[in-house]
Structure 1
Amino acid sequence: MSSSVVIPIQDGGEGAAPKTVEKESLAKNLSPVACLLRGMKGEHDVRRVVHSIKVGVALVLVSLLYLLDPLYNQVGENAMWAIMTVVVIFEFYAGATLSKGLNRGIGTILGGGLGCIAAVLAQEIGGVGNPIVIGTAVFIFGAAATYARSVPRIKKKYDYGAMIFILTFNLVVVSGLRAGEVMGIARQRLSTIVMGFSICIFTSLLVLPNWASDELHISIASKFEHLAFSIEGLLDKYFEVVVDKESKADGSFKVCKSVLHSKAKDESLANFAKWEPWHGKFGLSYPWDKYLQIGELLRELAATIVSLEVCIQSSRQPTADLRQSIKEPCESVASSITWTLRELGESVMKMRRCQSQALLLPKLKSTRLELRHFTSPSKLEHACDSGEDLAVSTFVFLLTEMVEKLEGLTKEVEELGKLAEFKTNDL
């Protein structure tokens, strides 16, 4: 049995040449991906170093409000609000910095404005009514803002702004209880916050920016290659006569799991990308929600691949002869799936239309029909044991599920191309 999977290396043997060429072709296709995966960590480290330097520069610039006497005479002790702003809102991605900065500005303006109104009203009433009005205002606005933070749509984009609103409102209105110049305090603090925000925006957006939109675009596009690589690894493992399950599970399956656990990161990047200005190839109102939909479909496909892994790891497996009998059609189907995944991934990465209606969908439909024909009872009569019959049927069924999910994924990528106005691919 073992001799059936050994590929002899010959100088001119006809039987060895196709296998050798196939493996060399596969290695050439995977080598750019492997280089990309190895290089991402180094590139990410460089970006972190650059980000750290940018934060240091921003802190030096904002500290000049303290260090230079002319600036200190203008802002005084309120310079600490500028420093606090830089420390709090400067994030790795430009969109995250802009999001937190605008949230902080909106929260400060609203909280400071309403706090001033409440403090002035309390001072007009005077006497015992002064603390009563302030206490009532603190309770009403604090409770309302806290409730608003629990609303999903507000929490997703404006949670930090609501928190700053609560903080600013309380500081302004309570300080107004003890000090008479409420408007002066609010104006000085707001001006220093604007200074800190301006320094953050300058260093984050104009000096080697890290765009969340670029990160999300590359992340979604690379998931197609990850899943294609996982499927190839699982098929190789399933049809090997001698299966080393432990070593095989370390490569492709870990890549698939990384796709499966990427939901939180994708949503965070999409949220930051929506705040970013027009830059590079991404315009205003870019369809980032469509990226999230594609990411969700990719995770569903990854879950099916995980189920296929569980099926392969099951103790009840068909015999090697039975697996070899279904090898050719299953590898043909897997080849169609991986080819389609790579085409879609390249379409997203290069932002070009892949003509899915004319090219990809017909191929997927023919692949699905081939699988349905293969899973008919007449095709599985040679399975002598009911357990083997079930194992083979489950394996083929999961491949069919992949094809059906891939059809939906193809349509979503095509719709993304229309919404984002991808360039037309010259076939």
Structure 2
Amino acid sequence: MPKAMKVDQLSQKEETRINPQPNILMKKARTLPVYVCRNIWKVGKDDPRRVIHALKVGVALTLVSFLYLLEPLFEGVGQNAMWAVITVVVVLEFTAGATLCKGLNRGFGTLCAVSLAFFIEFMAEETGRVYRAVFIGATVFLVGFMSTYLRFFPFIKKNYDYGVVIFLLTFNLITVSSFRVQNVLHMAQERLYTIAIGCGICLLMSLLIFPNWSGEDLHRSTARKFEALAKSIEGCIDEYFHDKDDKVSENKLDGPIYKGYRAVLDSKFSDETLASFASWEPRPTRHCHKYPWQQYVKLGTVLRHFGYTAVALHGCLQSEIQAPKSVRLLFRDPCMRVASEVSKVLVELAYSISNRRLFSHDALSDHLHEALQDLNSAIKSHPRLFLGSKNGRKVTETKHEKASSAVALPSLKTDTSVMLQWKSNRIADQPKNSSEQKQLRPTLSKLAITTLEFSEALPFAAFASLLVEMVARLELVIEEVEELGRAAYFREPTASDELTIKVKIDNMRQDENSHDLHAHEVHRIVD
């Protein structure tokens, strides 16, 4: 290879090493089309209704554009045809309830504004120009003040805020323009017609062609939240008791546990919005009863309070202070049984809501109470474990030798001793002229940490108390689901429903037993 070429290659490599930015930009430019296409496909795959809605918007805009493109229609409507296009862009929403809400608000607000503008024009018609200007100015002030103040009322803000805004906008456009422009009321009538045409096309597309109902979305999302919580709780229990590395693993924020309870905690705004839009939709019952959409919002609130226990369980997994593995294995079976029964109740609640069937929890409640009694008996059978670290260590090691020969985690005293030693070294490294206030903080930390040494089972006690609290809050969730079933006229459970529930619960119990047998076999092989 010639010497000049070698020098050029070396110089290029050196330039790339010094300034790698061009290579990074080129790499991103090459991967950008793939990234965009992948995201476009993912959005449509997650919910195919999004593709259908986009097609409906395109068709609706094409239809209203004919008012401007076709000569016969343009002669009848004129320049005001663009108001129909604006109406379709603004009003046509993803769900039928949202489209009805915005369409009726826009139509009713425009109608009220035109009617009031006609009345103001009739009263100011016989007056002079100066008095007419004063009268219009005073009217604009009063209507603007009253309309804006009306928007602060919670009921108006929740249901008719968009209509009030359209009323105020249309009224000011017509009333102020009538002072300078002749025949402005005729123009207002034409705008009203075109807005009505646009709203009609939106309602046609939203209600009759592949409709998406806000009520159904709220109904399905409520059932999915129960299933997500059940998976999150099962994931927490599996992480806590089935740990291969003798250390609770750190859960990332994009893990299934986090996604499960986060879907519940972040649902407040979406539940309230869907319930508000669902109240505008046609009644889903045969007898046209008022459907209790607000009861779904109330149930979501109670479910979020229940979800905080799942957040606390997840926090136990990520805590810096962990119970020894010997303590966790000692109470593994009763805790897993309680969590399993809670998950089964949640799955059954999701099944009842999704099928609009009244909830019957007698059998599930009995199994749940039995699991609680087993956990209570297991804790009472080891009282010294929760009273002192030395006695607790002896009891724990004795029980653990019978169950497994695995090595327990380092004691809490060892961990805290290391932490205290680190703090002492940190204090020694500080300047001698440090203030007395800085010396006080390590003293308080030492006192707090040594206080925790009275029991190695303290972290597990917190975990077990969260399970008991979860069962207590589950009763409130069940009451709200039963109240929803009565208010929404859910059907009575039939024999086929009972059989389906029984088969589902039996399958879950068989999966649980097989999982436990597999875990015991793994421990036996390790031992």
Question: Could you tell me the TM-score, scaled by structure 2's length?
Answer: 0.69
What residue number does 1:238 align with?
A: 240
Superposed displacement of residue 354, structure 1: 2.0
The answer to whether the 8 Å contact 2:358/2:492 transfers is yes
SS of 1:423's partner is coil
What residue number does 1:177 align with?
A: 179
| 1:66-102 CA distance string (max 9 Å, x none) | 1222221211111111111111101111111111000
Larger deviation: 120-129 or 411-420?
120-129
Identical counterparts, % of pairs: 44
The answer to whether the 8 Å contact 2:327/2:457 transfers is no
For the pair 1:327 / 2:320, whether they are aligned, the reply is: no
- 1:141 and 1:272 map into 2 onto residues whose CA distance is 28
Superposed displacement of residue 179, structure 1: 3.1
Superposed displacement of residue 47, structure 1: 1.2
What residue number does 2:410 align with?
A: none
Q: Which stretches in structure 1 are left out of the alignment for 5+ residues?
A: 1-38
Out of 318, 329, 349, the position equivalent to 2:354 is 349
Say if 1:116 and 1:329 are closer, same or farther in 2 by CA, change over 3 A. Answer: same
Aligned residues: 387
The answer to whether the 8 Å contact 1:375/1:393 transfers is no
Larger deviation: 308-317 or 344-353?
308-317
Say if 1:246 and 1:317 are closer, same or farther in 2 by CA, change over 3 A. Answer: closer
Say if 1:285 and 1:217 are closer, same or farther in 2 by CA, change over 3 A. Answer: same
What residue number does 2:292 align with?
A: 287
SS of 1:92's partner is coil
SS of 1:382's partner is helix
What residue number does 1:69 align with?
A: 71
Q: Which stretches in structure 2 are left out of the alignment for 5+ residues?
A: 1-40, 390-453, 499-527
Say if 1:421 and 1:279 are closer, same or farther in 2 by CA, change over 3 A. Answer: closer
Report 1:232-381 matches (<5 A). Answer: 232-241=234-243, 242=245, 243=247, 245-246=249-250, 250-279=255-284, 285-356=290-361, 358-365=362-369, 367=371, 379-381=382-384
For the pair 1:402 / 2:470, whether they are aligned, the reply is: yes
| 1:106-129 CA distance string (max 9 Å, x none) | 111111211222232222322311
Say if 1:295 and 1:217 are closer, same or farther in 2 by CA, change over 3 A. Answer: same
Structure with bigger gyration radius: 2
Superposed displacement of residue 379, structure 1: 4.1
- 2:47 and 2:338 map into 1 onto residues whose CA distance is 39
The answer to whether the 8 Å contact 2:218/2:271 transfers is yes
SS of 2:212's partner is coil
Say if 1:419 and 1:90 are closer, same or farther in 2 by CA, change over 3 A. Answer: same
Report the RMSD for the aligned CA atoms in angstroms.
Answer: 2.4
What residue number does 2:61 align with?
A: 59
Report 1:223-234 matches (<5 A). Answer: 223-234=225-236
What residue number does 1:81 align with?
A: 83
Out of 185, 200, 203, the position equivalent to 1:201 is 203
Amino acid at match of 1:349: S
- 1:151 and 1:387 map into 2 onto residues whose CA distance is 55
Out of 399, 411, 423, the position equivalent to 2:491 is 423
- 1:73 and 1:327 map into 2 onto residues whose CA distance is 80
SS of 1:381's partner is helix
Superposed displacement of residue 270, structure 1: 1.2
Out of 141, 152, 155, the position equivalent to 2:157 is 155
The answer to whether the 8 Å contact 2:251/2:318 transfers is no
- 1:132 and 1:92 map into 2 onto residues whose CA distance is 45
Amino acid at match of 2:89: V
The answer to whether the 8 Å contact 1:93/1:212 transfers is yes
- 1:230 and 1:170 map into 2 onto residues whose CA distance is 54
- 1:367 and 1:115 map into 2 onto residues whose CA distance is 71
Larger deviation: 366-375 or 46-55?
366-375
The answer to whether the 8 Å contact 1:212/1:270 transfers is yes
Out of 382, 385, 388, the position equivalent to 1:382 is 385
For the pair 1:393 / 2:397, whether they are aligned, the reply is: no
Question: Could you tell me the TM-score, scaled by structure 1's length?
Answer: 0.84
| 1:355-382 CA distance string (max 9 Å, x none) | 23x4445555555555566666x64422
- 1:371 and 1:191 map into 2 onto residues whose CA distance is 70
Say if 1:375 and 1:113 are closer, same or farther in 2 by CA, change over 3 A. Answer: farther
Amino acid at match of 2:52: V
| 1:375-405 CA distance string (max 9 Å, x none) | 66x6442244335343222111111111111
The answer to whether the 8 Å contact 1:353/1:417 transfers is yes
